[in-house]
């Protein structure tokens, strides 16, 4: 999601994560709950935990594996689950656990 815009996010991953978190907090998203998965340097921008409808998870290793695990847990709990990603491999992995996916332009439109 963060990589969907060439705005220099790679120079300040923690700052990009913080800006995304803040945008998610104020966005009018149709989902009742949002899970933001952070990895690497991005974890420094937002503490793990819940803020209103946004729950931030710090990936122990790679973000994709954590996204799939979070999607699997939500599907197992009976929740309709949508993952935002442009990564085709990740799209296949979330479909395999019963989740849906949308591209980042869908979320970017809600955040703008």
Statement: residue 52 has pLDDT above 50: yes
pLDDT of 32 reads 85
Statement: residue 77 has pLDDT above 70: yes
Q: Where are the domains of the chain?
A: 2-111
Q: What is the mean pLDDT of the chain?
A: 90
Statement: residue 106 has pLDDT above 60: yes
pLDDT of 112 reads 80
The Cα 67–Cα 44 span in angstroms is 18
pLDDT band at 4 (very low <50, low <70, confident <90, very high): very low
* The model's pTM: 0.90
Average pLDDT over residues 67-84: 96
Find the radius of gyration of the CA atoms of the chain: 13
Statement: residue 1 has pLDDT above 70: no
What CATH number was assigned to the domain covering residues 2-111? 3.40.50
Candidates 52, 66, 57, 65; CA nearest to 17 is: 57
Query: How does strand 49-51 pair with strand 54-58?
Result: antiparallel
């Amino acid at each position: 999601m963060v990589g969907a815009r060439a705005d220099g996010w790679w120079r300040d991953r923690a700052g990009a994560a913080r800006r995304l978190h803040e945008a998610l907090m104020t966005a009018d998203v149709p989902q009742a709950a949002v899970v933001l998965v952070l990895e690497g340097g991005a974890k420094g921008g937002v503490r793990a935990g819940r803020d209103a409808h946004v729950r931030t998870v710090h990936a122990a290793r790679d973000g994709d594996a954590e996204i799939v695990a979070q999607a699997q847990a939500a599907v197992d709990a009976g929740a309709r689950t949508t993952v935002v990603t442009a990564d085709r491999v990740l799209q296949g992995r979330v479909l395999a656990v019963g989740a849906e996916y949308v591209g980042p332009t869908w979320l970017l439109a809600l955040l703008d």
